[in-house]
Amino acid sequence: MGSGELEPGQLLPPMRELAERLGVNPNTVAAAYRTLRERGVIETDGRRGSRVRSKPATTGREFIRVEVPAGVRDAAAGNPDTALLPPLAPAFAWAAAQGDREPVLYGHEPVEPDLARLARAELDADGVPAGPVAVTSGSLDAIERVLAVHLKPGDTVAVEDPGWGSLLDLVPALGLRTVPVGLDDDGPLPEDVRRALEGGARALIVTDRAQNPTGAAVSAARARALRAVLRRYPQTLLVEDDHGHRIVDLPVHPLAGVTRYWAFVRSAAKAYGPDLRLAVLTGDELTLDRVRGRQRLGPGWVSRITQRAVVRLWADGAVDAKAVAAAYGRRRDALIAALAERGVAARGRSGMNVWIGVPDETGAVARLLQAGWAVAPGARFRMGAPPGIRITVSTLTEDEVGPLADAVASAVRAVPGRGYV
């Protein structure tokens, strides 16, 4: 496989047949297949056999990106506006001083008590069920740990489509299979979720707000419909990602608690800075106990100095959540309105991204690049969903809205081989 002799999607020979051909014990071939499956290189579909994954998980979607030449405006990276992030130096200076007076050594509790207290109070206020609190190195780290302690290679996970590219890479990298779930502005479609769970999916991952890349946010009505579906499958592992916390002015409508196993994740990345690498995780007792147990065998804990710095940022009100949400909302709404004036439909109910369906994804990205705009190709976020592009509006200025909308309208209307329509 490493030599490239086997094509993506190619069916592999049955294990016994390959063992006879190679003159080795069938257990050796079975172990090799198992290792390849766990690494996301091959996938197994019951009696249909094993085949090379069409997109091996080890390659990742990060290679599907646009290089931003000098002079081109970057609306592709998905980063928050640094002008809206708080200064970190004062909080870390304070946290380090606390650490000098009371160093954290091996055997100490992994979670800063004040962080757990503040996080739990906000979770309670938002209707997230009671549960212990853990701290991980960002949302993806939390999701990986939750999936790893509950699922085994070959299990299926229902994921949003289009959805977060890193998550779409992570699931197969763990040796798991993905099944796509469609979504609209109000979140995952209940009928798609039902089909996925009825088809054997053991886990469901939902983004509560600021869904990447579409900006969807789970509404109260959609949350009720999804809970009704999940009640029929109580053994489902439910993972919720609320990375839009403190950058979105829409309320969260958690699904947590409707199934036996659940986890709810909140990251500090978008509101306070990606380099903090900190997320708060809560969930049912068994899930959190397993996650903390595995964490002890790896990194042990997330730096308590970092945790204390986040506590200071929270306690000082370093981020005006309403102002941040309003700033992103103005930029997002302005672009969507400008596109609508030009006959281009776009989605972006919350967060810092706008999703635009296009007939020719590659061509649209290339034409926008020529016009001076770098946008993210939808292939980074899609499984079976139609083509699209993602535009990050976090730093978009008022003067840029019109020119960007003009460029998008021109790029979208161009048809390969036929010019513009």
Going along the chain from its start, the domains and CATH numbers come out as 1-59 (1.10.10.10), 73-85+320-420 (3.90.1150.10), 89-315 (3.40.640.10)
pLDDT of residue 204: 98
SS3 state of residue 256? coil
Whether the Cβ atoms of residue 134 and residue 292 lie closer than 8 Å to each other? yes
Q: Quick check: helix, strand or coil at residue 373?
A: strand
3-state DSSP assignment of residue 309:
helix
Give me the pLDDT at residue 415, please. 47
The residue-averaged pLDDT of 300-311 equals 98
Confidence class for position 419, pLDDT limits 50, 70, 90: very low
Per the model's pLDDT, the better-predicted residue between 411 and 18 turns out to be: 411
pLDDT at 21: 81
Whether the predicted pLDDT of 270 surpasses 70: yes
Average pLDDT, the chain: 91
pLDDT, position 62: 63
Q: How far is CA 102 from the centre of its chain?
A: 36
Kindly indicate the confidence band of residue 360, based on its pLDDT and cuts at 50, 70 and 90: very high
pLDDT of residue 420: 41
Partners of residue 239 on adjacent β-strands: 205, 263
Q: How confident is the model at residue 245 (pLDDT cuts 50, 70, 90)?
A: very high
Hey, which bits of 187-316 come out as E strands? 187-188, 203-207, 237-241, 261-267, 279-283
Quick one: pLDDT band at residue 46, thresholds 50, 70, 90?
low
What b/e sequence results for 171-184 when a residue is b if at least 16 CB atoms lie within 10 Å of its CB, and e otherwise? bbbbbbbbbbbebe
Question: What pLDDT is recorded for position 66?
Answer: 73
Report pLDDT for 39. Answer: 56
Q: How far apart are CA 162 and CA 129, in angstroms?
A: 28
| Core vs surface per residue 63-84: b (16+ CB within 10 A) or e | ebebeeeeebbebbebebbeeb
Indicate the angle between helix axes 398-413 and 361-370, nearest 10 degrees.
130
CA 354 to CA 381: how far, in whole Å?
13
Nearest CA-CA partner of 114 in 251, 400, 316: 316
Higher per-residue confidence, 24 vs 222? 222
What torsion, rounded to 10 degrees, do the Cα atoms 238, 244, 249, 251 define? 10
Three-state DSSP at 157 gives strand
Whether a cis peptide bond, with omega within 30° of 0, leads into 213 is: yes
pLDDT score, position 219: 98
- What is the pLDDT at residue 122? 97
Whole-angstrom distance, CA of residue 84 vs CA of residue 271: 8
Mean pLDDT (whole number) for 88-98: 97
Angle between helices 139-150 and 165-173 (to 10 degrees): 30
Give the position of tokens 């090799």: 32
The mean pLDDT value for 338-367 works out to 96
Cis, peptide link before residue 162, omega less than 30° from 0: yes
> What is the Cα–Cα distance from 391 to 102, expressed in whole angstroms?
45
| pTM of the entire predicted model | 0.87
Q: How confident is the model at residue 61 (pLDDT cuts 50, 70, 90)?
A: low
Q: What is the mean pLDDT of residues 68-77?
A: 93
Q: How confident is the model at residue 51 (pLDDT cuts 50, 70, 90)?
A: confident
Residue-level pLDDT at 414: 61
Q: What local confidence, expressed as pLDDT, does residue 35 receive? A: 65
Give the pLDDT confidence score for residue 329 in this predicted structure.
98
pLDDT of residue 27: 76
Helix, strand or coil, per DSSP, at residue 404 = helix
In this structure, of 58-62, 163-167, 292-296, the range with the lowest mean pLDDT score is: 58-62
pLDDT of residue 400: 98
pLDDT at 12: 84
Tokens of 253: 């409508």
Task: Please give the backbone phi and psi of residue 73, each rounded to the nearest 5 degrees, phi first.
Answer: -75, 125
Secondary structure class of 144 (helix, strand, coil): helix
pLDDT reported for residue 286: 98
Per-residue pLDDT, averaged over 372-381, amounts to 96
Q: What DSSP designation does 161 have?
A: S
Instruction: Give the 3-state secondary structure of residue 371.
Output: coil
Which residue in this structure is represented by tokens 């050594």? 105
